[in-house]
Amino acid sequence: MTTPDLQSFFARIYRLVAKIPAGRVATYGQIAALAGSPRAARQVGYAMARAKAEWQLPCHRVVNKLGALAPEHAFDSPDWQRFLLQQEGITFLENGRINLKRHLWQPEADQI
């Protein structure tokens, strides 16, 4: 159709991120693909940076495909994201990355 963007891709990204259950993590590419643009993974991170705290988005549950967390400057405190994830039961490897094999979010049709 001529109007594929109901509001903006960011809006869809926010909606998807909000559906990530606690104790699970999703990748930027995963969110981007669900939003309709598999190649727009960067925009997912951009959307997180522009996200407002009032939206209460679990942006700390969004990581890259390597399991590495966002840059330190992205959160209030350098290890704030890691702290939140550990509080939800996320396990980290010795190299400081998340064990995606164990905590990667598997979106279902009803979740979208």
Q: Does an H or E element contain 27, and which?
A: strand 26-27
- Under the criterion CB under 7 A, does residue 104 sit at the interface with DNA? no
Near DNA in 9-28, by CB under 7 A: 9-10, 27-28
Strands 62-63, 26-27: pairing is parallel
Taking CB under 7 A as the criterion, the residue among 18, 50, 83, 89 binding DNA is 50
Q: Is 66 helix (H, G, I), strand (E, B) or coil?
A: coil
Which of 48, 40, 52, 54 has the alpha carbon at shortest distance from 69?
Answer: 48
- Under the criterion CB under 7 A, does residue 59 sit at the interface with DNA? yes
CB of 32 to DNA, least distance (A): 7
- Angle (nearest 5°) at CA 54 between 16 and 13: 20
**Could you list the active site residues?**
59
Q: Which residue has the tokens 């891709």?
A: 9
Taking CB under 7 A as the criterion, the residue among 18, 22, 66, 112 binding DNA is 66
Taking CB under 7 A as the criterion, the residue among 25, 41, 90, 98 binding DNA is 41
Q: Is 93 helix (H, G, I), strand (E, B) or coil?
A: coil
- Residue numbers at the binding site for DNA (CB under 7 A): 5, 8-10, 27-29, 37, 39-46, 48-51, 59-60, 62, 64-66, 70-71, 74-75, 81, 95
